[in-house]
A = this chain, B = another copy of it.
């Protein structure tokens, strides 16, 4: 018997996770319930010590509103951010803070079989060492590259199980907690929507500049995933007639003309053919050090590196021009590791828009650089769990041991 007021209370908790310090009036508007009802529910939540008053906010022309926040130790979630080589695991509380330091494991996604089990063991380990009782965990959110069917919980590119078995169900069964997966770029977009540069935006495109180029779409205020969950395949739109073969099998994909990987390769080529630069060839060999080196060079104003970033930026801009024509977004947000290069991206992208986009369409579209940066994917993974909190709390009511088969 799920009482309606419980559903509302859970909704309030969810809203307070996504936005600290909301007043009772704010909440009543967000959850679309009357003020007296909202107030009564908050009162009960405060009595149960799930929510605390956080003082008075400034007046907006009337009595000063009391604001509330969720207690950070009420619930916890495990956030997992994977890329092809490195996986980061963190335990995150209700105020989006890391409970302890991030666990980093080197895990190659292509080694299908063992990788999944290693991941599961490490998540279990992270829960254990956190010292937090397991009942306080509400779920595990995982972001990884690949074609992911969010609903079925299948990654068609990596970590696939025999017979297309759902990896979320598989993991949930082993770990005893609900598991949610999504594409890395989608989770970065979710993080930007809830806590970053896209906060409150109804329509935003979040470009994930990384070793490849990803895209997370915020449409009508929510993450858009498409029919099967594959939306946002930005890096393989056929935009160039360069004849260059992409690893996807097609030629002329956006990714053949822009990405950190490409910048790295062009940097090595350039130096080998005698270009003057502050870049240190040695450090370019390893992916991780190459990334550090490139960002440093840009920040120090190295002309050659800036040239490379500018060309890549211009090509991203050509892709963005297509996005703007089709989706008329309010904001374009540059996120992912590449966003560390900062303002350097803006001019070449703007230039590409000037050349390839109808003026009326982009004149009110803002290009912004993420401030979440490398943190984005972990925050997004945590947010993914809370996005699904409605169903989670329902299951918790139903059975004490979770109906994991349903997840």
Contacts and interface: CB of A to CB of B under 8 A. Distances in A.
A131 interface: no
Contacts of A249: 358
Q: Is the interface of A mostly helix, strand, loop or mixed?
A: loop
A230 interface: yes
A360 interface: yes
Interface in A225-245: 225-234, 236-239, 241
Task: For chain A, give the interface size range.
Answer: 35 or more
B232 A326 contact: yes
Contacts of A238: 318, 321-322, 356
A233 B358 CA distance: 9
Contacts of A323: 326
Contacts of A271: none
A234 B361 CA distance: 12
Nearest to A233: B325
A215 interface: yes
A364 B220 contact: no
15 contacts: A203-B226, A217-B327, A225-B328, A226-B327, A226-B329, A227-B329, A228-B364, A230-B328, A233-B326, A233-B328, A233-B361, A237-B321, A237-B325, A239-B239, A250-B358
A202 interface: yes
A137 interface: no
Interface string A337-381: 000000000000000000111101100110000000000000000
A219 interface: yes
